[in-house]
Amino acid sequence: AQEISIQLSGALGESETGGATINIIPRTGGNRYAGSFNTTYTRNAWFARNDQAYPSLNESNLVQYNYDVSGAYGGPILRDRLWFYSVARDQGKEQVPPGGPFFPNLHYGKWGYNYQPDRPAGNLTYKNRWQNVNGRFTWQATERNKFNIFWDEQNFCQDPCHGMVAAFVAPEAWWSVEVKPNRLQQFSWTNPFTNRI
């Protein structure tokens, strides 16, 4: 975003409900090329241990890894006329579900068998992943007429994408909130017809 405004007064004419409102004006590129990059990462080996004082904390909700990588870049296609701006982001994590160790079903896919833990397969974890990339093109057609085209493509897979979240349900009985693709497309035209409109 190039500008964010927060209004705390209620019931303004622009909003159908009362309360605080947030207006976000997105970046549209400009007459020089510029970008940014941001990343965070952690993994299980970097966490401290309290085995004696709180042994249960080391058995559940352990983060195996967690990362977030994003980059943005924009600039002119035609100086003073046509600009672009794009952002890409990839986030993911792997975590041990709460409730202690939980194992895959030894009898998965076999009819008539109850759940039995497959301990040699190791403790189950769950993975989530969120990805998106977007692009915006801005065209200053005339002094008064500005056009924007925006496309945002998102894929997200969570709770879980792979594995399982809760220890009270077998992995094959769980479901995933997965939306692929999830898109947002926008076209806008700005034109101050007069000083009043």
User: In the structure, what pLDDT confidence band is assigned to residue 141 with cuts at 50, 70 and 90?
Assistant: very high
Q: Whole-model pTM?
A: 0.77
pLDDT at residue number 17: 72
pLDDT reading at 196 higher than 70: yes
pLDDT at residue number 189: 94
pLDDT at residue number 116: 85
What would the pLDDT profile of 83-122 be if each residue is shown by its tens digit? 999 999 999 999 888 776 788 888 888 888 888 888 898 8
pLDDT at residue number 107: 85
The whole-chain average pLDDT of the chain stands at: 85
Averaged pLDDT, 131-160: 93
Averaged pLDDT, 180-189: 90
pLDDT at residue number 101: 75
Contact 155, 128 (CB under 8 A): no
Q: Above pLDDT 90, what percent of the chain?
A: 43
What would the pLDDT profile of 26-45 be if each residue is shown by its tens digit? 888 889 999 999 999 999 88
Residue 71 DSSP code: E
| Cα gap 21→4, rounded to integer Å | 11
Q: What are phi and psi of 172, to 5 degrees?
A: -75, -10
pLDDT at residue number 183: 92
Contact 52, 43 (CB under 8 A): no
pLDDT at residue number 93: 94
pLDDT reading at 9 higher than 80: no
